[in-house]
């Protein structure tokens, strides 16, 4: 996440909207200031953010389509299997959304899981905006309605992403180690996974937060996610589940492009591991929106030896297209759902004098 996005995220969030951030005697001042703003300001900001995200997603689809058209090989496409790939990806999104909820509930236990799931899925298409800071902006704005402090919302988003990438890197190494092995890919995956893991250890993550404190509002001790042993087991379960669903999505794309030749079960680990490493590697370079280019190159390099060069690059591009469409559909469905903000009882309103 770029450092220049941090002040914008927090200054754009109204502290008065976060319960407990102001005393009852101080809440009158922000309320008067808020009334001075025209009523169209908030809808306009939402439209601008939505427009930026839609532009980025449309750009992503156009780039993928152009690269697909430039492919010299024609493939028979099985739409049923391709749709199944999108469903597998959506299942992975849900698993990672629950993963994110577990992280948020470490600092705000009363926050509803479905509320975190909504924030996660709605923010996911924003990763195609260059810099990836828009993901955090959306999550902070949505979770503020549930009473999560802006700083806590930002730190949980950071913790979720880094820890998720550490699981993906380590799991990719295991997949690529399995025959037919790709030693370079396995070692690189383990190195990336270990690097991301080091960033979320209690000692290192706390120090990173203190470094960021210069550009943030005050960081309360409760803003930092501190998983228990059982909490870590839950994160590991949902993280591995999400990555395996996404890996299965890649296998189904390969099967959809070559319906006459079934994908060998022995090649599944290589195909799934290539997708995992490509995703983690793409995130490691924040200048690439959604890891575009690097992820496709890694998948092509690691799978060409088992499924052929033409099918390898076509499946990498096909996966990109399927995932973007699935993210848009999932976001549209979640946006129409009525989501409770909290799981606990509503706080009592202060008595009026």
Size (the chain), residues: 353
- A 10 A CB-CB count for 78 gives 16
Write the CA distances from 351 to 56, 321, 345, integer angstroms. 47, 54, 18
Place of tokens 């509002």: 217
Does 63 score more than 80 pLDDT? no
**Using one digit for the tens of pLDDT, what is the confidence trace for 143-161?**
888 888 888 888 898 899 8
Does 223 score more than 90 pLDDT? no
**Using one digit for the tens of pLDDT, what is the confidence trace for 230-245?**
889 999 999 999 999 9
Which ranges of the chain does DSSP label H, i.e. alpha helix? Answer: 5-11, 28-36, 41-69, 79-107, 113-123, 133-144, 150-177, 183-199, 202-212, 229-257, 268-284, 294-307, 309-335
Question: In 3D, which of 158, 156, 179, 302 has the Cα closest to residue 231?
Answer: 156
At residue 131, the pLDDT reads: 62
In sequence order, the 6+-apart residues with CB closer than 8 A to the CB of 97 are: 116, 117, 120, 121
At residue 13, the pLDDT reads: 41
> Which of these ranges, 17-31, 68-82, 91-105, 298-312, has the smallest mean pLDDT?
17-31
At residue 172, the pLDDT reads: 96
- Concatenated DSSP letters for 143-206? HHTTT--HHHHHHHHHHHHHHHHHHHHHHHHHHHHSSS--HHHHHHHHHHHHHHHHHTSHHHHH
CA 112 – CA 101 distance, rounded (Å): 8
End-to-end CA separation in angstroms for the chain = 45
CA 40 – CA 168 distance, rounded (Å): 42
> Which of these ranges, 26-35, 131-140, 307-316, 320-329, has the smallest mean pLDDT?
26-35
**pTM confidence score:** 0.74
Q: How confident is the model at residue 345 (pLDDT cuts 50, 70, 90)?
A: very low
CA 17 – CA 147 distance, rounded (Å): 8
In sequence order, the 6+-apart residues with CB closer than 8 A to the CB of 346 are: none
Report percent pLDDT > 70 for the chain.
65
């Amino acid at each position: 996440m770029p450092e220049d996005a941090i002040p914008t995220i927090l200054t754009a969030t109204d502290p008065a909207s976060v319960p407990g951030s102001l005393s009852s005697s101080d809440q009158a001042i922000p309320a008067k200031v808020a009334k001075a703003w025209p009523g169209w300001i908030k809808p306009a900001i939402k439209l601008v953010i939505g427009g930026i995200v839609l532009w980025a997603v449309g750009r992503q689809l156009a780039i993928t389509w152009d690269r697909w058209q430039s492919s010299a090989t024609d493939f028979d496409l099985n739409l049923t299997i391709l749709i199944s790939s999108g469903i597998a990806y959506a299942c992975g999104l849900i698993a990672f959304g629950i993963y994110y909820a577990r992280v948020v509930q470490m600092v705000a236990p009363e926050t509803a899981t479905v509320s975190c799931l909504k924030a996660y899925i709605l923010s996911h298409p924003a990763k195609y905006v260059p810099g990836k800071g828009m993901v955090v902006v959306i999550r902070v704005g949505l979770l503020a309605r549930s009473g999560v402090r802006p700083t806590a919302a930002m730190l949980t988003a950071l913790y979720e992403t880094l820890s998720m990438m550490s699981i993906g890197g380590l799991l990719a190494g295991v997949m690529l180690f399995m025959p037919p092995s790709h030693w370079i890919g396995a070692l690189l995956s383990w190195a990336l996974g270990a690097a991301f893991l080091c960033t979320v250890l209690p000692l290192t993550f706390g120090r990173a937060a203190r470094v960021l404190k210069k550009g943030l509002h005050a960081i309360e001790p409760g803003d930092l996610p501190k998983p228990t042993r059982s909490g870590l087991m839950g994160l590991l379960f949902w993280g591995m589940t999400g990555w395996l669903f996404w890996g299965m999505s890649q296998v189904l794309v390969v099967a959809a492009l070559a319906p006459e030749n079934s994908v060998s079960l022995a090649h599944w680990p290589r195909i799934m591991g290539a997708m995992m490493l490509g995703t983690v590697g793409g995130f490691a370079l924040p200048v690439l929106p959604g890891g575009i280019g690097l992820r496709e190159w890694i998948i092509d390099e690691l799978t060409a030896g088992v499924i052929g060069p033409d099918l390898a690059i076509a499946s990498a591009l096909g996966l990109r297209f399927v995932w973007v469409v699935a993210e848009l559909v999932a976001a549209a469905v979640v946006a129409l759902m009525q989501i409770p903000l909290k799981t606990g009882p509503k706080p009592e309103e202060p008595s009026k004098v």
